[in-house]
Amino acid sequence: MNPTAAAIRAGIRRGRIELRQTFTNFQDLWGYLFPAVALLVVMTLMRGSTIPGTEFSRGTMTLPSVLGVSVAFSSLVNLAQILTIEREDGTLLRAKAVPGGMLGYLVGKIVMISGTALINVAIVLVPGVFLFAGLDLGDVGAWLTLLWVLVLGLVATMPLGAIVGSLFPNARNLGAVMLPIMGLVAISGIFYPITGFPEWLQWIAQVFPIYWLGLGMRSALLPDGMQAVEISESWRHWETAGVLGVWAVIGLVVAPMVLRRMARRESGSSVAARREKALQRIA
């Protein structure tokens, strides 16, 4: 068997095993369900109010936007977190000690993160379909748009997660990235139409993938009439694909370099040093 193919296959298996582990583990399940339930409750409370200038429920508009954020969180934040944790605990070093282990590890992570993103989307979308009126899910086009936005969104944000995860020395420092990401969520038109914000803020939001993920999801799930509250009153599919595509290309060029540099520095003593530090923190 070709060693590279074998490593990729082992990686896919690894991703599947880890998916099973994370979804049969109470703590992890809670981590997926709690935010989903919280968001559904918030959106249900917003059902009564309407988007200014329309008769459309804010709850319904927020649902697809939240799906976009959820994809970004699953792939960027989760991956960064897992990478820093698994570097600290030596999982990565083990992968390095095995032939083809790093490739397998990376493939495994892609499978696992994609799987959790998919499930994160499903646990909001499925109850959402019953809770919110006005979603436009009837035709194949809606699902196709959902699919390409989801896939492209993952490809655009996962390498960013890998870069962030490689650059931060440990999971506790990741809070430093969480803050700007939360800020981006706030200005990306997730809970309120972006056209209500000052124009300079709109420009900042449009640089980053979160806005486009939200827009793409809205374009998939909302009736076309809702374009009216978007920038230039359009779903802007080409622009969505373009911006997410640029992020994907940048990420896919930079991430392997950063990952390689990070992996090269791993050794038994670097893991031991981090273990010492972590144990001191506990004590």
Enumerate binding residues for another protein (CB under 8 A): 1-3, 6-7, 9-10, 13-14, 17-18, 21-22, 25, 86, 89-91, 93-94, 96-101, 104, 266-269, 271-272, 275
H-only helix segments in 132-208: 140-167, 175-187, 199-207
For the CB of residue 29, give the shortest distance to another protein in the complex, in Å: 13
For the CB of residue 257, give the shortest distance to another protein in the complex, in Å: 18
Q: Are 80 and 74 in contact (CB under 8 A)?
A: no
For the CB of residue 99, give the shortest distance to another protein in the complex, in Å: 4
For the CB of residue 214, give the shortest distance to another protein in the complex, in Å: 33
What dihedral do alpha carbons 191, 195, 197, 200 form, nearest 10°? 130
In whole angstroms, give the CA distance from residue 15 to residue 112.
5
For the CB of residue 252, give the shortest distance to another protein in the complex, in Å: 22
Nearer to another protein, 47 or 96 (CB): 96
Q: Under the phi-then-psi rule, with left for phi > 0, alpha for psi from -120 to 50, and beta for the rest, what region is 30?
A: alpha
Partners of 50 in beta bridges: 57
In whole angstroms, give the CA distance from residue 256 to residue 190.
31
Partners of 57 in beta bridges: 50
Angle of helix 209-221 versus helix 58-72 axis, rounded to 10: 130
Question: Positive or negative CA dihedral for 248, 254, 257, 263?
Answer: negative
For the CB of residue 12, give the shortest distance to another protein in the complex, in Å: 11
